[in-house]
Structure 1
């Protein structure tokens, strides 16, 4: 009879323990006062938490891993967690460091590097280039000419019918073309259209050579964005003899968003005229 009473007492004690545990819904290890926001509070001043350790093969053999499941991968010496679809490395999460030892398809957010970065391959930045050279270039008619006012002001786009080559990385040369061009190709529309998805500040460099249609002609050269010549890009050149070749260059910084484009323009001051543009190199690099 006494044995039965002890068994009943023990069973009642276990039931009361689990009822109390379920009511509190908290467990403390190393503390009698677990944090109210936790289901499990492990407290220690000289020991750490040791999760299950396994290699990649054993990790991948886990059947239907739960979202949030955590293990330590002894092949990579990294914590891994399951996001409900695949295993991820804890260090690659938002707000932590970027692992540059593996391929990264998309690194979001601002990253600050305090050391020296030495690329082993290409440093991928958007770039585009139009180049042209023709010592026997045809005459370009400049219409009514420019007065020196702001904007387009009678200026004409430099757009040779042939002979312009295009070098591309995140650009194309035809506004109606939705894909980037091949690395080098001939074009018939001398514009650089940015196809990247991120708005960037571009350094634009333009060098060119020309022969004036008449002696001592004065020309204004400039870069147009979306068909509008940018005043800050303009330079004024007084030419010499119409039998001489002259050259010059300009630099300007412009913001470009997706599908925005830049072009090379020229105008003659003081009335109609012409010019022979014999070469140009039109280059844009994003920063």
Structure 2
């Protein structure tokens, strides 16, 4: 009989151990959710006695010193910023709010996608808008000559025998989210290096001189689509211009709205509608501003 009691006790302990291993833990409930390892239920508490869950609290410095690689999904309350933080497997991230990810305006960071703000935002530094610029101006000669080997129709036919306007070496100025690759050299290409696609206001102002009185040129912006490798002058950007006398300089400005995805690039193009005749570019300014 004594042996049987010991065996029954052993079996009871074994069954309880299995329950601990495979069951969920419930606090305030005897039937925790099957999908949760821990289910805290406060429904049985009086309305004036409800309690919440209090995660580990620590400063940013203490958080960053937990271990080299915290577990993905680890949750803490940051007492430095008064925010819930979780580790996403790469970096510590602020827990999303109902209106989207929290944007800490006091810390330098890249903000992707759409964010809605209410109230007034007063910037103490520079507002970083994606922008690129190429400028050229010649004060001593007639400008640089652009060779146009074939006549353009001036119609909505894409590139249509138009050629790229390449400024002389040493005239390139670019900034912010546009860049000039080593293979570009000194030319009119701006390559968008941002992280997300967006519309760009592209503004060009330029002065030029024809080789013939009252010649007709077509100017436009060529877009190089990085994902499809398709390059063509956008028909919506084309501007037909009848010049004055060949001894006179003509000045023109044009504005274009284009969508650019990361690594797409744009270039300044020109064609002659009357014949294969060249043009002299005295100056130009080529700017792309993100919207």
Question: SS of the residue aligned with 2:217?
Answer: strand
2:122 equivalent to 1:115: no
TM-score (norm 1): 0.72
Deviations 1:140-194 (A, max 9, x none): 33333323232222323221334523222222234736xxxxxxxxx52222222
Contact 2:196 / 2:262 at 8 angstroms: preserved in 1? yes
Larger Rg: 1
**1:279 deviation in Å?**
0.7
Unaligned runs of 5+ in 2: 1-8, 225-230
The answer for the alignment partner of 2:200 in structure 1 is 202
CA distance in 1, matches of 2:88, 2:192: 36
The answer for the alignment partner of 1:189 in structure 2 is 187
The answer for the alignment partner of 2:234 in structure 1 is 230
TM-score (norm 2): 0.71
5 Å matches for 1:1-287?
22=20, 25=23, 29-30=27-28, 35=33, 37-38=35-36, 39-44=38-43, 45=47, 46-51=49-54, 54-56=57-59, 72-80=77-85, 88=92, 91=95, 96-103=100-107, 105-107=109-111, 110-135=114-139, 136=141, 137-149=143-155, 150-162=157-169, 164-174=171-181, 176=183, 188-226=186-224, 227-287=231-291
CA distance in 1, matches of 2:135, 2:63: 55
Unaligned runs of 5+ in 1: 1-10, 178-186
CA distance in 2, matches of 1:110, 1:259: 20
Question: SS of the residue aligned with 1:164?
Answer: coil
**1:223 deviation in Å?**
1.3
CA distance in 1, matches of 2:205, 2:170: 17
Question: Are residues 51 and 67 of structure 1, via their aligned partners in 2, closer, same or farther at CA, if it must alter by over 3 Å?
Answer: farther
CA distance in 2, matches of 1:148, 1:210: 18
The count of residues paired between Structure 1 and Structure 2 equals: 267
Q: RMSD of the TM alignment (CA)? A: 3.9
